[in-house]
A and B are shown apart, each in its own frame.
Chain A
Amino acid sequence: MLDLRASVIAISYIVAAVLFIFGLKQLSSPATARSGNRLAAVGMLLALLATLVDRQILSYGTIGLGMLIGAAMGIYFARTVQMTAMPQMVALFNGMGGATAALVSVAEFLRLSAAGEAIGVGEATSIVLGTAIGAISFTGSIIAFGKLQEILPGKPLQFPLQRPINGLILLAVVALGVAVVMAGGSALLWALFVAALVVGAMFVLPIGGGDMPVVISILNSLTGLAAALTGFVLHNQMLVVAGVLVGASGTLLTLLMSTAMNRSVANVLFGAFGATSSDAAAQTSVVGRTVKQTTPEDTAIALAYARSVVIVPGYGLAVAEAQHTVRELATDLEKRGVNVKYAIHPVAGRMPGHMNVLLAEANVPYDQLLEMDQVNGEFPQTDVVLVVGANDVVNPAARDDPSSPIYGMPILDVDRARNIIVLKRSMGHGFAGIDNALFYHDKTRMLFGDARQSLTQIGQALKAA
């Protein structure tokens, strides 16, 4: 039987697990999402307080200091981060969780070994997996952070013999894992930890920026799994439940994102997409055709006299931090009686839901944001489509050209609208490195320049019109 103190802890953990489940349930509807997040936070607080009374804890100095520093750091970043930098922020927090899981696994192994306690095969396996997955998630997230923050190049990084070398390191991790389970030994576990750190970095380096929505989802799910495995190590079922919930949500998002790109998860991870598609780009039939340019003034007139306008945001909107400017333009158009909506492609931007967060920051009501399936039927009745920094997700080749590398990817059918205006920095290619037939379409006008500047100019011209 458990004594009183242990019972209190156990019951607190059960309540915390229930709060996590309810919190997640509420997170799936916009109206209740905020209270869902708070419910989960209450569960977390309860679990942390309950842990403090655990008999295993003999001194509070290290815990207190660590908590203080960690919490201060986390809250500071969370409060000050720009909404455009949200993908990096999520990646960074995710990496910290992965590191924690790996360190806890290693430390528990060292503690048990030093105490001379026997480590069963089940425990040893959990320790090995928790260490490896946590470490992979840590360095993977850090590399993803570096790419998103543009410290590292966003392009896929490739070098000769990449796959054989990666295969060998992965093999080393597996071999070390088996050795730790069979023979034990903290030196072997440390070696495993280091090898797994290398695997994590190597696995994200060859993946391009546009595939980040899939990568971030996978890393999120891996950290969840690592946390669940730590639950096995510490014999704590609540950790298992919480970790698996995160793993499940990450897996669902991963599948959603790869479906939205019409690519398998394996293809995203091992395809090094942007690098291989350059041959195909040369073959596209649009080479040699010219685009028609337009001016902010003409754009303003086209928008002012439209009945319906659909704005299609892409990563370029985030780069130019133009979400507020686009919202101001939309408000001005609405005052003139124009019906304005936003069309959001599932993989627009660098993480799942990236555009939604940016537009929410600019006070765009979420019921004005249409998903791909809702909006595609409306394009033929749309007078003007304004594409702001999106490229591959509006490329008709994905629908019409079987030789295109993105053929089969569901796209926003903006080419079916009556007029298309594309705001773009230059004629550079999108992430997939392929030409976009939309830009050469008779109905399309290009407005080159920084998205925020162009939108501001359109707004000024609109006031004069």
Chain B
Amino acid sequence: MSQELVLGIYVFIMAIFVGFEVISRVPSVLHTPLMSGTNAIHGIVVLGAMLIAGSANTPLLHALGFIAVVFGAANVFGGFVVTDRMLEMFKKREQGASEKKNA
């Protein structure tokens, strides 16, 4: 086993603990935005796709890299934008009440 793999496994395990610690108490109001926000974060694999596409030296690798970049970019940009759109809608009652007064 390489030193790098061992390090990776350490990071993997620590990240599990961080993840559960950070997310464990999310109110159900935010379940959908949490899901779509984390959805955007896993789009980070697009940087792997960029490395493949940028270093491709055969037509096959070019094609694979291209498809992967397109999918990954759609995942990242779409994910963050749609999450932002959703979160924009979540309002507290105070704001809702002041809007009513203004109307």
Instruction: Identify the A interface with B (CB < 8 A).
Output: 20-21, 23-25, 27-31, 33-34, 36-38, 40-41, 44, 47-48, 51-52, 54, 56-60, 62-63, 65-67, 69-71, 73-75, 77-79, 81, 83, 86, 89-90, 93-94, 96-97, 99-101, 103-104, 106-108, 110-111, 114, 120, 122-123, 216-217, 220, 223-224, 226-228, 230-250, 252-253, 256, 344, 346, 351-354, 356-357, 360-361, 363, 365-369, 371
Contacts and interface: CB of A to CB of B under 8 A. Distances in A.
Interface in B1-42: 1-2, 4-5, 7-8, 11-12, 15-16, 18-20, 22-42
B45 A252 contact: no
Contact of B42 (A21, A59, A223, A371): A223
Contacts of A123: 5
A231 to B, nearest CB: 7
B51 A122 contact: no
A142 to B, nearest CB: 12
A97 B37 CA distance: 13
Interface string B71-92: 1111111111111111111111
A34 B29 contact: no
Given A28-B27, A79-B81, A360-B86, 4 more contacts: A230-B48, A245-B22, A252-B23, A353-B29
B77 A94 contact: no
Given A51-B51, A351-B35, A369 B29 contact: yes
B26 A93 contact: no
Contact of A37 (B27, B52, B80, B89): B80
Looking at chain B's contact residues, the main secondary structure is: helix
Contacts of A353: 28-35
Contact of B36 (A51, A77, A93, A232): A93
A121 to B, nearest CB: 8
A226 B45 contact: yes
- Contact-residue size bin, chain B (C-beta under 8 Å from the other chain): 35 or more
A34 B85 CA distance: 9
Contact of A366 (B20, B55, B90): B90
A48 B84 contact: no
B55 to A, nearest CB: 5
A462 B95 CA distance: 26
B35 A352 contact: yes
Nearest to A102: B68
Given A66-B53, A69-B70, A220-B39, A241 B11 contact: yes
A228 B12 contact: yes
A240 B69 CA distance: 19
In this complex, the member of B40, B57, B76, B85 whose beta carbon has the largest number of chain A beta carbons within 10 angstroms is B76
A252 B70 CA distance: 29
Nearest to B51: A56
B33 A103 contact: no
Contacts of A114: 57-58
Contacts of A57: 50-51, 54-55
Closest 7 CB pairs between A and B?
A70-B73, A248-B19, A74-B78, A66-B69, A57-B54, A353-B31, A352-B31
A111 B69 contact: no
13 contacts: A37-B37, A62-B69, A63-B69, A66-B69, A73-B74, A93-B75, A100-B46, A101-B48, A220-B39, A227-B42, A246-B39, A248-B18, A249-B35
A70 B32 contact: no
A78 B58 CA distance: 34
A246 B22 CA distance: 11
Given A44-B41, A104-B48, A66 B22 contact: no
Given A56-B55, A100-B71, A357-B86, A216 B15 contact: no
Nearest to B86: A357
B70 A66 contact: yes
